[in-house]
Structure 1
Amino acid sequence: MEVSEVEVRDEVGADYLPHLMDLFASAWWTAGPTVSDVTRILAASDLVVALIHRRSGRLVGFARVITDEVYLAVVLDVIVAPGSRGSGLGAMLMDAIVGHPRLAAVRSIELVCQPDLMPFYRRWGFSEQVGRSRLMRRTSDPLLSGT
């Protein structure tokens, strides 16, 4: 799929919910939520970026951000449809996020990723050098507990 065949939107309407469910099912960290869960996730996210394939109308990429628009923004759930990975759509998502006007004045944009994706995110200035900070987690999700 060509990047030129995709448009960026800042919302995911109810008609794209089945597509978003498919995207969530394709990633290990988002697999398993119900439609109700995903509806609540969308409502509670401050910024949503959706990639829609122009011809098919299919949602092929998604990411969301939680932010106070001053000090911190946390990028979550950067997902590209399995058949479209490696085509530049992930970069398109990240360009839309870091270039979004609502995040222009934010002092720190953060995300959590797997080690193999660190080179990808470095292209936008992300670094594993976070001072003395360490990620801590309290979870009931065994996929996220690392055990």
Structure 2
Amino acid sequence: MKLPVYLGLLHASEAALAESYRQVAGGHGDEPDVHFLCLTLARQCDAHQEALRPVIDRYGETTEDDEPERLRHEGLSETRSGPVGLLRDLQDLYLIANLVDITWTMVKQAAQGLRDAELLDVVARCDGETATQLGWLRTRMKQAAPQALIAAS
């Protein structure tokens, strides 16, 4: 069974996303909505990792398979400045959140195959929140794009 590989990928990706949200919050404190919402979303990712604990205890988590490792994203190491920097940082968050989202989808497929009601409950809660995160990121990028790409000099 390779589910532990994807549980490990999901756990690490949620951690990278949480840390990246914190990085963006700290780097863009001049944008209060970004700062405070990124901190909230980081805590949400922390809660997702915690929700995975019983599942990981049951199935394990591994990184033995090389293929999913190519997908791993370490997160943001630093933030950029200015309007274009904010837009690019949000875009990076969006990419990591999409990795998390599709990994939740793969884990859901496995949970359905296993008929694991507990895992399905975790997926339903966490994947839905990740979808909401993606929606906010998309909306915030749309809001930031005109100023960053047209008005900023």
Same fold (TM over 0.5): no
**TM-score, structure 1 length as denominator?**
0.30
Structure (1 or 2) with the greater helix fraction: 2
TM norm structure 2: 0.29
Q: Which has the higher contact order (CA 8 A, sep 6+)?
A: 2
